[in-house]
Structure 1
């Protein structure tokens, strides 16, 4: 039977159009809910930034667990329709630190969150979605259901939301190059073997495993979490993020990138059917 710790209460986050948030026993549970496939658009980006900022100084929350309302998709990827609305993130961009772009800023906000952040990955996360998973402190992936991939190369670009730096830091340069240039979808077992996620677990056990860990962490004595996060601090990736942005910006303006992104949308990207084999869909356009 599923393990339950205490009673869950809804948090006062009615302003979040794309998130469902509840809190119990020091754990905030955040469910991403941005149909049809949870693309990382301006609305989801703004909600995530708002939530993380609001929780940053909330000492009653010690662990944040992220999952998805959609069993197939965690975060599909950054909204490809931005090719037609390049100013969609302008309002968010006006409020980010120097030295990072708007996509990197979300990853850095997550990486430096004082709470322990855990992703419960039961579906696919590509592009910006994979970057979000890699930026979290921990991730647990459901065998037979979870998938991770940096697909940007198939759109004529490179990851621009921290993915190159987070991957190289976590799985090594050689495997990061494989993931970025191979642009395949990695299953839970391979992701675990590479060190991309903490563990690949049976899908039926994912909830209990993450809930148990979150409860154990949230129940630690005062100061232990902060001390551990100070001691095991995220690496300073400032220079690498600048290099990544320059590489991404140099590719996104090329005609090939616009052609591939528009073509992908025309062929069914960001629809449920198209997203189930997005790598095949995009490779088919290049063939």
Structure 2
């Protein structure tokens, strides 16, 4: 029987409709091993299959999010450690999930850990959070999306500075650049992330997934194509029972009771 120390990702349910996934390699500063990424992907698949799961919080725990990719795996396996089919498939699950993801960052958030946080739809940071892409200091470059996502988040020049110097930025600077939504007191990012997740989880998972898909398309599509995606998605929303329930609840002046149908 395995102990908690053998489990790379812990799961709990802090509120109705909310699942929290906590990275669980504190002795390795939550380095993103292939095992951890596989466990994250498995949890996301399970959450997608569960009726009633509407939002997921990703947390690293008290004082830590993730120090980045597992350098020991890279030392032993070279590029194959971070470029292999299983890892790519698992990472794709995290990139494409319809579930809203909220990252809680209460400490260092570096390299692959930072790239994981950027896959999320919101980031809540505590005052002691630190963000960075220090791969250049190891003689290589980010390999899980930072060269593409970071410029889209904070602009070319700020992204170039972070990636080419490898220097870290604090939570206040991250918020100024638009990388994080909110900054909390130390140790409070999990609480606030769950509060936001509860606000999200009040709504229909159908509408949430369609809204997330449309917003995400804005990063990849020309405006005309993005608007077409939005029109398609709202048309799909109008085919759901939850849209009819939401409309009825509005006119009847009562809370909607969504069933994710």
Common fold: TM-score over 0.5:
yes
Question: Could you tell me the TM-score, scaled by structure 2's length?
Answer: 0.74
- Select which of 67, 80, 83 maps to 1:76: 67
Question: Could you tell me the TM-score, scaled by structure 1's length?
Answer: 0.68
For the Cα contact (< 8 Å) 2:5–2:24, is it kept in 1? no
- In the TM superposition, residue 44 of structure 1 has moved relative to its aligned partner by 1.1
2:7 matches 1:22: no
2:38 matches 1:46: yes
Q: What's the counterpart of residue 99 of structure 2?
A: 115
1:124-203 correspondence to structure 2 within 5 Å: 124-143=108-127, 145-203=128-186
- In the TM superposition, residue 55 of structure 1 has moved relative to its aligned partner by 2.2
Change (3 A) 1:63 1:15: farther
Take 2:23 and 2:149, find their aligned partners in 1: how far apart are those partners? Answer: 22
For 1:196, what is the secondary structure of its paired residue?
Answer: coil
Q: CA RMSD in A?
A: 2.6
| Unpaired runs of at least 5, structure 2 | 222-261
For the Cα contact (< 8 Å) 2:12–2:21, is it kept in 1? yes
Take 1:184 and 1:220, find their aligned partners in 2: how far apart are those partners? Answer: 39
Q: Identify, as 1 or 2, the structure richer in helix.
A: 2
Matched pairs, number: 215
Bigger Rg, structure 1 or 2: 2
For 2:158, what is the secondary structure of its paired residue?
Answer: helix
- In the TM superposition, residue 207 of structure 1 has moved relative to its aligned partner by 3.5
| Unpaired runs of at least 5, structure 1 | 1-13, 97-101, 238-287
